[in-house]
């Protein structure tokens, strides 16, 4: 009976596998047979922007290929910006409709999108925005539009920025599972949640100043686009003056309260067509496929753009992880390519392994001795993210970039109290005095703690030296800006930690100017496997990315973020140059 059941299961499995293979074959044939005409852009069209997936600076698969975008769980900011730029000069595209809720992007990414939409409007084209629910980040993006609309029973959130930090000291005391921490830096509060039950004054100070600077940047832009004074915007936030659609309109945050069909009537009017006529929309994903075939910058000389995004871990790295393997290979390849005249390193990272950061820093040093290296900072380039950027010839940051955090720490898990409670006793035997240095099941000894502290201090001093050398300041000056303190891009510019405020495009133009190039092409690094290729590799089961997507969908973005942070903590090895806290701005 078991044999028959197993035999039938094997047959069924083979049939399913064959079915999947045939399905993939037909998809492949369809994709390979497609061309530019497969995406039809009609005259008098509207580009509809709905940002439904998380936005990454770069997905690594934006080159024209039949698998581009297939099975991808994130959207590349570089592709979105390219599509908007192409649409700006596409006579068939008359305007843009932003119809988005719950944008999953950082403030700097959102700020860059606003700039692209502003440039689109400068071509005499319209941008309208509609929402059922505007989070603050959604509204920040939508406020760039010529007109902003909301559903009559919708909600607009406009109350100022806040950040929440979780503390685990009592949890550790109750469970017997704790993190032994060693740190350097007055503001290096990445480990504070394990040591205290409440926020220190130093940590509260830096978070308050940071989010105030970010809020000021947002308010200044909203003020300019909505023609409301910054003072009035802060009054609106303090009094919740936009909490209902009616109040939001009265306060000037938006233009009209309408149902979606009425919004479409507004779009028809903007297109100068009858309300009864069908509006020709083209969605962003489809237009991106068309736009990716349009080369905006070309020339035999190239500017290399190397994307370093994610936490920093020792090893090869990948699309969401910075490892010395993949980043250094990209730097070496760009350095040895005679067509590449300058390099822009795009950094979007909260930091991580200090060792990996230093390995990448060294490769940047070797590279800049041969070719100009300019850094462009994204949402965050802090701690290890700043470490790998510090040596560049020039550093660009967005006003809303989070950077700095020059400091280091170490965390070591310990379950000795739990082990004692449940009756576990560990005994060690070694050949030499220091052979047995630490056990998860025994309290940390002073000798081991002193060893780790020595490593922390050495790493911090090295970090300061790298910053002082790169920024052409003294170690004492670097130390005064360090201690783990984080800054906004605006404050970092004021303090000399960055050179200019600007986008990735501004950094690329600066790189071209450094080597006196008037015409040039862009060469992007590294190259990653497409979502389709990763899917085929994981055909036998759900891939890690697919599993993550399923978990995110089931438990929600906020709880998924907490889960991801816990997972990151358990994977930390060695001395860490990492953001002083997990910043969840809302």
Active-site pick, 115, 125, 188, 302: 188
Tens-level pLDDT at each residue, the chain (586 residues): 555 555 555 666 666 556 555 555 555 545 444 444 578 999 999 999 999 899 999 998 655 555 555 556 789 999 999 999 999 999 999 999 999 888 999 999 999 999 999 999 999 999 999 999 999 999 999 999 999 999 999 999 999 999 988 898 899 989 999 888 888 756 556 678 888 889 988 889 889 999 999 999 999 999 999 999 999 999 999 999 999 999 999 999 999 999 999 999 999 999 999 988 999 999 999 999 999 999 999 999 999 999 999 999 999 999 999 999 999 999 999 999 999 999 999 999 999 999 999 999 999 999 999 999 999 999 999 999 999 999 999 999 999 999 999 988 888 889 999 888 899 888 888 898 888 778 888 888 888 888 888 999 999 999 999 999 999 999 999 999 988 889 999 999 999 999 999 999 999 999 999 999 999 999 999 988 655 555 555 554 444 444 555 555 555 555 445 555 555 555 555 577 766 555 566 6
Per the CB < 8 A criterion, the answer to whether 558 and 393 are in contact is no
Please tell me the distance from the alpha carbon of residue 521 to that of residue 303, in angstroms, as a whole number.
Answer: 6
Per the CB < 8 A criterion, the answer to whether 374 and 510 are in contact is yes
Beta 126-134 vs 93-99: how paired, if at all? parallel
How many C-beta atoms lie closer than 10 Å to residue 259's C-beta? 13
Q: What pLDDT score does 186 carry?
A: 62
Q: What pLDDT score does 543 carry?
A: 47
Helix (H, G, I), strand (E, B) or coil at 50: coil
Tell the residue number behind the tokens 């953001």, with chain if given: 579
By C-alpha distance, which of 310, 398, 392, 393 is closest to 353? 310
Active-site pick, 383, 405, 416, 543: 383
By C-alpha distance, which of 255, 344, 338 is closest to 303? 344
Q: What pLDDT score does 2 carry?
A: 55
- The gap from C-alpha 249 to its chain's centroid, in whole angstroms, comes to 32
The three-point CA angle 216-222-228 to 5° equals: 100
For the stretch 405-464, pLDDT in tens is: 998 888 888 999 988 889 988 888 889 888 877 888 888 888 888 888 899 999 999 999
Q: What pLDDT score does 561 carry?
A: 54
Please tell me the distance from the alpha carbon of residue 183 to that of residue 250, in angstroms, as a whole number.
Answer: 51
The secondary structure of residue 465, as a DSSP letter, is: H
Q: Give 47's strand partners.
A: 96, 282
Q: What pLDDT score does 525 carry?
A: 96
Query: What Rg do the C-alpha atoms of the chain give, in angstroms?
Result: 26
Per the CB < 8 A criterion, the answer to whether 396 and 510 are in contact is yes
By C-alpha distance, which of 16, 365, 407 is closest to 190? 407
Residue 206 class from Cβ within 10 Å (0-12 exposed, 13-18 middle, 19+ buried)? buried
Q: Which domains does the chain have, with CATH numbers?
A: 36-159+240-291 (3.90.226.10), 302-406+474-528 (3.90.226.10), 538-574 (no CATH)
Q: What pLDDT score does 428 carry?
A: 86
The three-point CA angle 404-406-410 to 5° equals: 130
Helix (H, G, I), strand (E, B) or coil at 131: strand
Q: What pLDDT score does 552 carry?
A: 52
Look up 147 and say whether it is catalytic. Answer: no
Beta 373-382 vs 340-349: how paired, if at all? parallel
For the stretch 451-510, pLDDT in tens is: 888 999 999 999 999 999 999 999 999 999 988 889 999 999 999 999 999 999 999 999
Look up 62 and say whether it is catalytic. Answer: no
Residue spans of beta strands (DSSP E) within 284-422: 302-309, 311-312, 321-322, 340-349, 351-353, 373-382, 394-397, 402-404, 408-414
pTM: 0.85
For the stretch 175-207, pLDDT in tens is: 999 888 888 756 556 678 888 889 988 889 889
Cα atoms in the 13 Å half-sphere on the side-chain side of 299: 15
Q: Which helix (H) or strand (E) holds 576?
A: strand 576-578
Write out the two tokens for 300.
Answer: 């035999």
Per the CB < 8 A criterion, the answer to whether 395 and 346 are in contact is no
How many C-beta atoms lie closer than 10 Å to residue 292's C-beta? 21
Per the CB < 8 A criterion, the answer to whether 115 and 504 are in contact is no
Q: Give 397's strand partners.
A: 501
């Amino acid at each position: 009976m078991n044999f028959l059941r197993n035999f039938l299961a094997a047959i069924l499995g083979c049939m399913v596998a064959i079915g999947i293979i045939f399905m993939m074959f037909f998809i492949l044939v369809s994709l390979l047979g497609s061309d530019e005409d497969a995406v039809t852009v009609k005259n008098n069209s509207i580009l509809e922007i709905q940002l439904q997936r998380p936005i990454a600076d770069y997905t690594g698969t934006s080159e024209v290929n039949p698998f581009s975008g297939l099975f991808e769980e994130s959207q590349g900011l570089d592709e979105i910006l390219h599509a908007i730029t192409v649409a700006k000069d596409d006579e068939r595209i008359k305007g843009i409709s932003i119809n988005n809720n719950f944008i999953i992007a950082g403030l700097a990414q959102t700020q860059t999108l606003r700039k692209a939409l502003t440039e689109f409007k400068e071509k005499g084209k319209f941008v309208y925005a509609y929402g059922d629910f505007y989070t603050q980040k959604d509204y920040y993006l939508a406020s760039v539009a010529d007109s902003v609309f909301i559903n009559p029973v919708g909600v607009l959130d406009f109350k100022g920025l806040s950040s929440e930090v979780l503390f685990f000291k009592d949890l550790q005391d109750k469970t017997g599972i704790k993190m032994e921490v060693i740190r350097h830096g007055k503001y290096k509060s990445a480990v504070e949640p394990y040591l205290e039950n409440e926020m220190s004054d130093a940590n509260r100070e830096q978070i308050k100043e940071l989010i105030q600077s970010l809020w000021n940047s947002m308010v200044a832009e909203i003020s300019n686009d909505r023609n409301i004074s910054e003072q009035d915007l802060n009054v609106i936030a303090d009094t919740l003056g936009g909490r209902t659609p009616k109040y939001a309109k009265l306060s000037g945050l938006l233009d009209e309260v309408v149902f979606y069909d009425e919004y479409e009537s507004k779009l028809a009017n903007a297109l100068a067509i009858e309300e009864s006529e069908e509006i020709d929309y083209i969605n962003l994903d489809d237009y991106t496929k068309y736009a990716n075939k349009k080369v905006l910058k070309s020339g035999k000389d190239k500017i290399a753009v190397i994307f370093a995004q994610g936490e920093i871990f020792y090893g090869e790295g990948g699309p969401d992880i910075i490892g010395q393997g993949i980043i250094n290979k990209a730097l070496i390849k760009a350095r040895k390519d005679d067509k590449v005249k300058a390099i822009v390193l795009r950094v979007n990272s909260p930091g991580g392994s200090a060792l990996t950061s230093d390995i990448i820093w060294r490769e940047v040093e070797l590279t800049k001795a041969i070719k100009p290296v300019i850094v462009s900072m994204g949402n965050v380039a802090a701690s290890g993210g700043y470490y790998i950027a510090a040596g560049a010839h020039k550093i660009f940051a967005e006003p809303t970039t989070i950077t700095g955090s020059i400091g280091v720490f170490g965390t070591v898990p310990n379950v000795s109290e739990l082990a004692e409670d449940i009756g576990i006793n560990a005994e060690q035997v070694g050949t030499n005095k220091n052979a047995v240095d630490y056990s998860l099941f025994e309290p940390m000894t002073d000798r081991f703690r002193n060893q780790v502290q020595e490593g922390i201090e050495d790493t911090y001093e090295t970090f300061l030296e790298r910053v002082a050398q790169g920024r052409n300041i003294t170690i004492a000056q670097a130390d005064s800006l360090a201690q783990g303190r984080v800054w906004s891009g605006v404050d970092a510019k004021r303090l000399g930690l960055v050179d200019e405020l600007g986008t990735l495009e501004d950094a690329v133009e600066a790189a071209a100017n450094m080597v006196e190039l008037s015409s040039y092409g862009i060469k992007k690094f590294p190259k990653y496997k497409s979502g389709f290729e990763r899917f085929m590799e994981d055909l036998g089961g759900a891939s890690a990315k697919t599993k993550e997507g399923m978990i995110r969908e089931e438990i929600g973005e906020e709880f998924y973020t907490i889960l991801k942070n816990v997972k990151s903590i358990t994977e930390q090895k060695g001395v860490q140059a990492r953001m002083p806290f997990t910043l969840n701005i809302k």
